[in-house]
Structure 1
């Protein structure tokens, strides 16, 4: 009987203490009786769109035949490029050949030289998603096309 009474007292005491000191996240943030509301409307920006704009282009959202949205960068020279392709290709331009090859390996894609110092290389025409075809001058990547 004593065990039951002691156990009951402990459980009631534990239950009473459990509610003590609990506050909602908003109350913890405010430290007062009034609640703090999150009014932050900041959105995460699309890095491909940001890159397009930084290159003097304008970003435009379009839909494909299935209704899926994609971004197009309208460059100042009139060229239109899919934003993510343009952005991914920019990762390689300006790198040394060795650094570009290392970056491709890090990204898990195949890297090949399409043109070196003005001389076109013989390439197979099989299309592989993500493959990086680079133009290299004096050991530096000057342009790439990612399939």
Structure 2
């Protein structure tokens, strides 16, 4: 009788612990993946020894590049200046 009571107690305890198990939502979408591609204008700024600066105006955020000679220029303007489109 003692073994039967002990066995039932253990089974009841196991059932309770199973019910407390943390649930996961397998239907949840995966987190967004990083694109992994840097802004070419910003990369170019740093490559030529410049320092990136984050700025903001009424249109949003943009980056400027402070060149080693002290000149500050918008990073895409610098990139286009030094990489003209060939026609």
Alignment TM class, shorter chain as reference: 0.5 to 0.7
2:69 equivalent in structure 1: 77
Q: Quick check: which one's helix share is greater?
A: 2
Give the Cα–Cα distance (whole angstroms) in 1 for the partners of residues 62 and 35 of structure 2. 22
Aligned CA distance change for structure 1 residues 39 and 62 (closer, same or farther; 3 Å): closer
Give the Cα–Cα distance (whole angstroms) in 1 for the partners of residues 59 and 77 of structure 2. 20
Counting matched residue pairs gives 58
Instruction: Provide TM-score, normalisation by structure 2.
Output: 0.56
1:68 equivalent in structure 2: 60
Q: Which runs of 5+ in 1 are unaligned?
A: 1-36, 93-99, 106-147
If asked which structure has higher relative contact order (CA below 8 Å, sep 6+), I would say 2
Offset of 1:40 from its aligned partner?
Answer: 5.9
Q: Deviations over 1:10-60 (max 9, x none)?
A: xxxxxxxxxxxxxxxxxxxxxxxxxxx789646320000000001100111
Instruction: Provide TM-score, normalisation by structure 1.
Output: 0.34
**Aligned pairs (5 A) from 1:46-125:** 46-64=39-57, 66-92=58-84, 103=86, 105=87
Displaced runs of 4 or more, over 3 A? 37-42
Aligned CA distance change for structure 1 residues 38 and 68 (closer, same or farther; 3 Å): closer
Q: Quick check: which one's strand share is greater?
A: 1
